Structure 1
Amino acid sequence: MGCFSIKCGLLAGSVFGAVIAILGGILIPVGDMIIERTVKKEAVIEPGTTAYDNWAASEIAIYRQFWFFDVKNPQQVVQEGAFPEVQEKGPYTYKTRYLPKANVTFNPNNTASFVLPLGAIFEPSMSVGPEEDTVTSLNLAVAGAYSLLPPASHILLDMVINSTNSSLFQHRTVKELLWGYYDPILKDTIGLFSPYNGTTDGPYNVFTGKDDISKVSVIDRWRGETKLSFWNDTYCDMINGTDGSSFAPFVDKDVPLYFFSSDICRSVSASYEATMNLKGIEVYRYSLLPSTLASPVDNPDNKCFCRNYETTKNCTLAGALDMSSCSDGRPIFISLPHFLQGSEYLRQVVLGLHPDEEHHKTFLDVEPITGFTLNFAKRIQVNMMYGPAKDITVLNKVKDHTLLPLAWMNETATLDDKTADMFKRELLSRIDMLEIVQQVLLIAGVIIFCVCLIAFFCVRRKSKANLG
């Protein structure tokens, strides 16, 4: 009778173990469903969700670091036609985008509209010197007027340049070059980013994801339009993806991420590069491909971005984007710092450039479950074109069109320790706990089932032996 009770208990234990194992197995898809439902709910841009709190606020500090290219041989360039030699000077750091989104409105078509207030606060502790440091740089008015005016007007321009004691190069402070100074030629205020403080970017319309989470944060309209008007081409004028601060949850690393940048007046894509660890959080690193700024020879899709056949050597130069169509005709070109991924020619006619993949590429670190960008570095170089002109004294020795780097910017932000701890506590720890429970139940159930079943057969064999 006692042996029968032991066998029953072992059988019951086996059944119990099997039930626990099955429960653990069931919890795997059920747990995944719970996680997916919760994440999708919190990813919608509407008051009360985690996504909204991150989207609307400005708690994460965004900085813009600037490095300037100080021209070391301005006289030789003007008088002898020498190649300009530059030396990098920086960083000069500003806190930007510290203001929350303004004019936020939720629309009936599940979109939200807003504008981004722009402002910059100098951060001396993160800079190599004060804003009053001087840089020898290209004269923006001279280069701009040379490009905008027809050759028939060059004699008149030369008279204006001489009467204002201007030249091809000028000495300006960091503050003046960035945010503006009064120019005697144009009789107006000009600067690389003038005007900036007190202005806004947008308005933007983005999808909230309420009806389709795959569209969350995707830009529906910019400045009231669904497409751009800079490139006169359907492909190049597309507004694709988000603004880069977040993407749809459950990121697939095999699928590129698309985002639009008003700084360069176009959309770009980034591809998965590697899985990284950011303060204990697993993130996917995405970076721009060399094809982004490749010449139309190597990437035919870029043909519509080529605006001037003469200055781009029949659109064979890689690594620079002509911005004249979205900068009021000014000969501005955007590139990666030090012409990274650009044609070798660009670095042959400007001495002192040293591209480095690690320090000069643009990348995004995206948490794959939520789609939030937790760390990024957007690196952009501003260049200006000047060329030969026989009727302009300061340009008549120049031999060829030269794309001169003026400054490069690293716009960067990363989550702080407090936010990282909150992220791990509120989301990742709960997911980890659910996975641990699943595994413990499954493993424990299998062990109990196997042990009890083996013990049952051992007891039954021993009972048969005693009876025999």
Structure 2
Amino acid sequence: MSKYQWLGGVGAIALLSFGILLFSTDSQVFNFIYRSQLVLSPNSTSFPMWRDIPALAANIYLFNVTNPDQVTNEGAVPIVSEVGPFVFMESHHKTKLVWNANNTITYQQIRNWKHVPELTNGSLSDYITIVNPIAASIADLLRVSVPKSLHLLVDLFLRTEKEKIFVTHTANEIIFKGFDDPILKAMNDAKFIIKNFIPDGAFMDKFAFFYARNGSDWMDGVFNMYTGAGDTSKMGKVHSWNYSTQNFFPGTCGKVKGGAGEFFPPGLNKTYIELYSNDLCRTLRFDFNVTSSPRGIPTYEYTAGRNMFGNGSVNPDNKCFNPATVSLPSGVFNTSICRFGAPVFVSQPHFYLADPYYSSLVHGMRPNPEKHTTSLKIEPLSGVPVEVLAKFQLNVLIDKVPDVALFKHLPRSFVPVMWVENAAGVPDNMVFQMKLFAMLKDILQGVGWGMFGLGVGIMLILTVKFISRRKQEEDGGPLISEGLAEESDSENVFHE
């Protein structure tokens, strides 16, 4: 065997060995790369992106009430028209980071919103009429917790202050800037008297749905999240919120669980994922819908279905979200317990997938699956979100209080105030990396089989060459012997 044949044989054996190693240990190689690149640590590739996630678009739609006087004085069904979107770029920055020994990280989050006027339909200075959440909260307190003996005093106060159940303010005042209300001033002045009836967090100097939230590091609370170190199945999952693993709701409904949103554990399956929402003080479940490939990246799409805000009869797991004394048709979630008692109910936009009961109490709803579905598209091997469209609507409950003039004629209605769409996607500079990561196992297997095939090919070539050479040697041996014999005979004859 020549030196080159010997080297070829060694090379073939090496290719076969490495090929078998790659396609038989592709999962282990993937896990090693995952742990070194995505598991969160101060030096991991994923850390900068997690600390400052790429800016996302926040599209805010407001609902203008067009018949406020008829609703207040005649009990007419509210009529609303959608205004907007008012477009903002929303950035998230993690701060006050603490790396813990149990493979978790504790942090707070600063959110900033920057208005994008060129994409906005309208102006932040546009005036819009909405249901007054402050007055609606007073009405709810009167119905639920304030003794009837005090109703007359409340009625006198509301008349004196000329409080209204519907107010008109600019879009900016409603969303961020805040507006004054006589009830807020009076509440602060009389806090020592009424504090037994009103939650402490409800005392504010102004009201807006995102008031004092822009640039705040405390409004979102304190998160404690698993980094994935030691156990990648916990990657990105929230361990506690505001230093508690149980919040607000009884039983399983109050358990803090689910992803924080930036990452999910690797190896997702086609069932469901869970996300913990600090805005709703609860875990949200998204069910698998279809596979899709946004921007060429293979993903699993999970959507907010009918069960998310289904009542206990539609989804038994949601039964503990509602008090036993309260029975509501399916499709809305009562956030009052984590919103200082305010009668705010969350639904999908335009009461999409909700019981028709809600749309019957307000005119102007036009649910559209293509426009109002919440979806999360996630690359399943890595658990990294590729495209997120989160859409939720805020509704304020109004209802009559017979012995208080302001609320005497009100119809029962869950009046929409706004709905918000958050849209996020993979930045352009990360698309190729995501594609590569999504195909990593296939690449490893392909390279492994390629090396194995090349090794087999070389071995076959060497084997054929070896057999051919042996055959030539075997066939050529007798002929050479006969020729030598003939020459010997001839020489003997000649000498004679």
Specify the TM-score bucket, using the shorter chain as the normaliser: 0.7 to 0.9
CA distances 1:66-112 after superposition (whole Å, capped 9, x unpaired): 111111222222232221111111111222234x2111111222221
Tell me the secondary structure at the aligned position of residue 444 of structure 2: helix
Is 1:358 the counterpart of 2:370? The answer is yes
Is 1:380 the counterpart of 2:373? The answer is no
1:18–1:330: structure 2 CA closer, same or farther, 3 Å change rule?
A: same
Distance 2:150 2:384 in 1: 52
Count of matched residue positions in the alignment of Structure 1 and Structure 2: 450
Distance 2:335 2:294 in 1: 35
Tell me the secondary structure at the aligned position of residue 93 of structure 1: strand
CA distances 1:426-459 after superposition (whole Å, capped 9, x unpaired): x457656434423433455566778898999999
CA distances 1:137-178 after superposition (whole Å, capped 9, x unpaired): 102222111112334444333333333333321111111111
> Where does residue 336 of structure 2 map in the other structure?
324
Q: Is the 8 A contact 2:39 2:227 kept in 1?
A: yes
1:290–1:457: structure 2 CA closer, same or farther, 3 Å change rule?
A: farther
> Where does residue 260 of structure 1 map in the other structure?
276
Unaligned ranges ≥5, structure 2: 186-204, 479-496
Unaligned ranges ≥5, structure 1: none
Q: Is the 8 A contact 2:225 2:260 kept in 1?
A: no
Q: Is the 8 A contact 2:37 2:46 kept in 1?
A: yes
Is 1:47 the counterpart of 2:64? The answer is no
Larger Rg: 2
> Map of 1:384-423 to 2, 5 A cutoff?
384-399=396-411, 401-423=412-434
Q: Is the 8 A contact 1:14 1:450 kept in 2?
A: no
Q: Is the 8 A contact 1:258 1:269 kept in 2?
A: yes
> Where does residue 161 of structure 2 map in the other structure?
164
Which of 191, 201, 226 is the equivalent residue of 1:207? Answer: 226
Once the two structures are aligned, what percentage of the paired residues are identical? Answer: 27
> Where does residue 206 of structure 2 map in the other structure?
189
Partner amino acid for 1:272?
F
Distance 2:296 2:15 in 1: 32
Is 1:223 the counterpart of 2:245? The answer is no
Q: Is the 8 A contact 1:43 1:213 kept in 2?
A: no
How many Å apart are 1:32 and its aligned residue? Answer: 3.4
How many Å apart are 1:35 and its aligned residue? Answer: 1.9
1:80–1:460: structure 2 CA closer, same or farther, 3 Å change rule?
A: farther
1:131–1:21: structure 2 CA closer, same or farther, 3 Å change rule?
A: same
How many Å apart are 1:350 and its aligned residue? Answer: 0.9
1:119–1:326: structure 2 CA closer, same or farther, 3 Å change rule?
A: same
Q: Is the 8 A contact 2:52 2:91 kept in 1?
A: no
How many Å apart are 1:208 and its aligned residue? Answer: 1.9
Partner amino acid for 1:438?
G
> Where does residue 438 of structure 1 map in the other structure?
448
CA distances 1:368-388 after superposition (whole Å, capped 9, x unpaired): 222111221221111111101
Aligned-residue Cα RMSD (Å) equals: 3.2
> Where does residue 190 of structure 2 map in the other structure?
none
How many Å apart are 1:284 and its aligned residue? Answer: 1.5
> Where does residue 302 of structure 2 map in the other structure?
286
TM-score, normalised to structure 2's length?
Answer: 0.81
> Where does residue 319 of structure 2 map in the other structure?
303
1:36–1:109: structure 2 CA closer, same or farther, 3 Å change rule?
A: closer
Distance 2:286 2:439 in 1: 29
Distance 1:110 1:23 in 2: 34
Partner amino acid for 2:159?
N
Q: Is the 8 A contact 2:27 2:441 kept in 1?
A: no
Which of 60, 72, 77 is the equivalent residue of 2:71? Answer: 77
Distance 1:236 1:429 in 2: 38
TM-score, normalised to structure 1's length?
Answer: 0.86
Partner amino acid for 2:226?
F
CA distances 1:274-308 after superposition (whole Å, capped 9, x unpaired): 22212221121112232121111122221211137
Q: Is the 8 A contact 1:14 1:453 kept in 2?
A: no
Distance 2:8 2:236 in 1: 52
Q: Is the 8 A contact 1:273 1:287 kept in 2?
A: yes
1:181–1:153: structure 2 CA closer, same or farther, 3 Å change rule?
A: same
Which of 117, 134, 139 is the equivalent residue of 1:141? Answer: 134
> Where does residue 235 of structure 1 map in the other structure?
252
How many Å apart are 1:114 and its aligned residue? Answer: 0.8
> Where does residue 68 of structure 1 map in the other structure?
62
> Where does residue 246 of structure 1 map in the other structure?
263
> Where does residue 481 of structure 2 map in the other structure?
none
Q: Which shows bigger deviation, 390-399 or 40-49?
A: 390-399
